[in-house]
């Protein structure tokens, strides 16, 4: 009896150590990936310091892409949360760390020079590597075009990365982000030159894009910051946060009637 008892005890312990037995023969139709968006950042520093910051500090990202060579480092598994977005919001969803994949690009960002702010361009090979990675992520998580966001999109009051030199049009050419038709924008801009919409209209259109923006009809600093974030993405030649005819046309064409 002692031998039988010992055998049963060992079997019970072995079962506990291995976890519960789970039957995986069935799978629910009603499910989707936890990943809703991909958020792009620059690191504001070089590769060695980027690796230290993203692996030894509390801030983290799922991927880091070097500049020369454009090595792709996986730092956090996609099924785990990385701490990259912070206080963030898009399309009504808040604190996006839990629903996003974060990708950091090694890039110095900007520095203030005697003639104003200087931004570091992105290496073409680095963007090539990013596009390959984005296509893979979007296919696996079944994300639609438009799911790729800037850090400045989801946190426009405090962030400007990946900045005005990030080549969003290259991503659009790869079918990864929607892009407004230039002819349609020109036609709408001509109309808006005659009569510019109200600030409340701009705020409503920015909210349709997904931005967290005030809805009080006043051109305050938070509204300007959101306008600047949108302009930096779709009209990087001028991102002054001013509501103008071209910005109105871009919003209308992107949002549709």
Q: Would you name the residues annotated as active-site residues?
A: 104
Per-position b or e across 79-88, b if 16+ CB within 10 A of its CB: eebbebbeeb
Q: Provide the β-strand partners of residue 38.
A: 101, 148
Q: Provide the β-strand partners of residue 138.
A: none
SS3 104: strand
The sign of the torsion formed by the CA atoms of 219, 250, 254, 131 equals: negative
Beta-sheet pairing, 37-42 with 116-119 = unpaired
Q: What is the helix, strand, coil percentage profile of the chain, to 5?
A: 40, 15, 45
Backbone angles phi, psi at 21, to 5 degrees: -80, 130
Residue 122, number of CB atoms within 10 A of its CB: 22
Angstrom distance (rounded) from CA 115 to CA 113: 5
Nearest to 61, CA basis, from 144, 161, 145: 161
| Contact between residue 145 and residue 37 where contact means Cβ atoms under 8 Å apart | no
Angstrom distance (rounded) from CA 29 to CA 193: 50
């Amino acid at each position: 009896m002692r031998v039988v008892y010992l055998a049963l005890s060992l079997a019970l312990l072995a079962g506990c150590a291995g976890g519960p037995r789970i039957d995986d023969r069935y799978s629910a139709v009603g499910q989707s990936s936890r990943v809703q968006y991909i958020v792009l950042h620059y690191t504001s520093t070089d590769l060695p310091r980027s690796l230290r910051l993203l692996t030894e500090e509390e801030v983290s990202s799922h991927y880091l892409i070097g500049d020369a060579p454009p090595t792709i480092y996986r730092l956090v598994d996609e099924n785990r949360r990385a701490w990259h977005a912070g206080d963030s919001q898009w399309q009504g969803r808040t604190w996006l760390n839990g629903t996003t994949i974060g990708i950091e690009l090694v890039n110095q960002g900007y520095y203030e020079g005697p003639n104003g702010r200087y931004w570091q361009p992105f290496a073409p090979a680095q963007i090539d590597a990013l596009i390959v990675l984005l296509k893979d992520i979007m296919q696996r998580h079944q994300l639609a075009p438009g799911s790729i966001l800037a850090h400045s999109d989801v946190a426009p009051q405090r962030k400007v990365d990946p900045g005005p030199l990030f080549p969003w049009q290259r991503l659009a050419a790869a079918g990864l982000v929607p892009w407004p038709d230039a002819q349609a924008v020109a036609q709408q801009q001509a109309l808006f030159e005659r009569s510019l919409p109200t600030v409340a209209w701009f705020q409503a259109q920015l909210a349709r894009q997904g931005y967290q923006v005030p809805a009080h009809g006043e051109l305050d600093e938070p509204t300007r910051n959101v306008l600047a974030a949108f302009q930096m993405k779709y009209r990087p030649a001028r991102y002054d946060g001013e509501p103008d005819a071209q910005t109105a046309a871009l919003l209308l064409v992107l949002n549709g009637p």
